[in-house]
Amino acid sequence: MIRIDENGFYGKFGGAFIPEMLYPNIEELRENYLPIINSEEFQVEFRHLLKDYVGRPTPLFLAERLSEKYKAKIYLKREDLCHTGAHKVNNTVGQIILAKKLGKKRIIAETGAGQHGVATATVCALMGMDCTVYMGAVDMERQKPNVERMRILGAKVVPATSGSQTLKDATNEAMRQWINNPVDTHYIIGSVVGPHPYPEMVAKFQSVISEEIKAQLLEKEGRENPDMVIACVGGGSNAAGAFYHYYNEPSVRLIAVEAAGLGIFSGKSAATTSLGKLGILHGSRTLLMQTEDGQVVEPHSISAGLDYPGIGPVHAHLFDTGRGEFVAVEDEDAMVAGIELSRLEGIIPAIESAHAFSALNQLSYNPSDIIVINLSGRGDKDLETYIKWGNY
């Protein structure tokens, strides 16, 4: 059974390892998030925005040419068709409504690739909330179009100039700013990471993905459960959403795909379950890439969204218990898979999502198996990377 205990632990992973200065913020959330998000009023607004603003339900598409090539029945969960181009917006819609109900006036967020930053800036514009997004200075350079998208949407983008100036540093900076602004500000974390209750809360908002998969598969196949669900894992929010309603369905294989970068043991990788040890980052105890001295190691992936040195505690638990199967895909193989999907199905995936497709090459299954791949985002933001790579 995958469940979270009252202190926010999935098995030995999770918890809230935060400075006391954040305790009141976290406590306020912990006490209020379930009553609020379970309320009828919240659900009506959330469902309405998911439907009419985000464009849900997203299709579950039978990819026939891909199925033929990989000899299984492969469905794509089309999160790439969400407003703003990725699953990230499911979470930001949920959290912005929550923030409003908590009486917050300002929103802060971290972003790596800029997808979560854009999804946050978007809902802040929608709700008329003040929005500041922290982004590593290096990532701001790498992901210029998303920086400008956020600015067009009215958000302030602040460079994180500490450490390695990427996602983990942007997260550090957002946490620091939350310490500095404890009363009127809500921090919208972008994945199933951070102190309890964030990992579970974000997973709940993303769980609409597997809720829809169940209904859509039932309609198309007469059964709710596929044989396998595949999703990429950076922090793990799209995977948590795609797995959520299958955690306790043992017949469904849950495949989590990490970024191996230039090779798991190349020193340029983000394959946390292969390289990580138990550690504490951003408020939760989880698997973490770190040196022998407990300093956090800078990861590498060609996809900025998978470029994170930890994974959400629920995924560490899936790994630890064997409930999840973890696969690592290298940069080059992800790019090839991205082009393959473009050619076979006419869909250019985000490079994060391309990792999930490449995993098909490493898995064994039966021709009669039904496989759902969570297509977490579209490739528009990655055009420059595709062009630079050039092999198409």
Partner 1 sequence: MNRIDELFKKKSENILSIYFTAGFPSLEDTLPIMKAIEAAGADIIEVGVPYSDPIADGPTIQESNLVALNNGMSLRKLFDQLADMRKEVNLPVILMGYLNPVVQFGVEKFCQKCQEVGVDGLILPDLPMSQYLTEYKEIFDRYELRNTFLISPQTSEKRIREIDSHTDGFIYMVSSASITGAKAALSAEQLAYFERVRLMGLKNPRLIGFGISDNATFKTAASYSHGAIIGSAFINVLKSAEDQEKAVIEYIQGVINN
Ligand X SMILES: Cc1ncc(COP(=O)(O)O)c(C=O)c1O
Query: Which are the catalytic amino acids?
Result: 88, 110, 376
Choose the contact partner of 232 out of partner 1, ligand X, none; CB within 5 to 8 A by kind.
ligand X
* Alpha carbon distances (Å) from 383 to 130, 143, 303, 349, 380: 30, 11, 12, 10, 6
We find the least distance from the C-beta atom of residue 282 to ligand X, in angstroms, to be 13
Query: How far apart (Å, rounded) are the C-alpha atoms in residues 83 and 320?
Result: 35
Nearer to partner 1, 182 or 250 (CB): 182
Burial of 344 per CB tally in 10 Å (0-12, 13-18, 19+): middle
Is the alpha carbon torsion for 382, 387, 389, 392 positive or negative?
positive
* Minimum distance of partner 1 from residue 274's CB (angstroms): 18
Q: Which residues bind partner 1 (CB under 8 A)?
A: 7, 15-21, 23-25, 162-163, 168-169, 172, 175-176, 179-183, 277-283, 288, 290, 292-296
Coil, strand, or helix at residue 259?
strand
Size of the site for ligand X (CB under 6 A): 21
Identify the residue among 25, 164, 238, 385 touching ligand X (CB under 6 A).
238
Residue 181 CB: number of other CB atoms within 10 A?
17
Q: Among 235, 283, 309, 313, which residue sits at the site for ligand X (rule: CB under 6 A)?
A: 235
* Residue 353 within binding range of ligand X, rule CB under 6 A: yes
Handedness of CA 268, 273, 274, 277 (dihedral sign): positive
Q: Whose Cβ is closer to partner 1: residue 15's or residue 312's? A: 15
- The CB-of-113 to partner 1 minimum distance in angstroms stands at 20
Helices (H), 222-310: 237-243, 272-275
Question: Among 305, 310, 313, 338, which residue sits at the site for ligand X (rule: CB under 6 A)?
Answer: 305
Q: Which is nearer to ligand X, 73 or 196 (CB)?
A: 196
Q: Which is nearer to ligand X, 112 or 338 (CB)?
A: 112
Q: Which residue, judged by CB position, is nearest to ligand X in the bound state?
A: 377
Report what 7 binds from partner 1, ligand X, none; CB cut-off 5-8 Å by kind: partner 1
Nearest approach, Cβ of residue 182 and ligand X (Å): 26
The Cα angle at residue 228 between residues 227 and 234, in degrees rounded to 5: 165
> How near is the Cβ of 223 to ligand X at its closest, in Å?
26
Cβ distance 304 to 139 under 8 Å? yes
Site for ligand X in 108-137 (CB under 6 A): 112-113, 115-116
- 350 makes contact with ligand X (CB under 6 A): yes
Name the DSSP letter for residue 58.
Answer: P
The torsion region of residue 158 among left (phi > 0), alpha (psi -120 to 50) and beta comes to beta
Is residue 376 close enough to count as binding ligand X by CB under 6 A? yes
User: Residue 248: which residues within 8 A CB-CB, separation 6 or more?
Assistant: 1, 2
Judged by CB under 6 A, the stretch of 233-241, 268-276, 291-299, 327-335 that binds ligand X is 233-241
CB of 162 to partner 1, least distance (A): 5
Q: How big, in percent rounded to 5, are the helix, strand and coil portions of the chain?
A: 50, 20, 30
Check binding of 377 to ligand X (CB under 6 A).
Answer: yes
Cα separation, 38 vs 22, in Å, equals 25
CB 7 within 8 A of CB 15: yes
Residues making contact with ligand X (CB under 6 A): 86, 112-113, 115-116, 191, 232-239, 305-306, 350, 352-353, 376-377
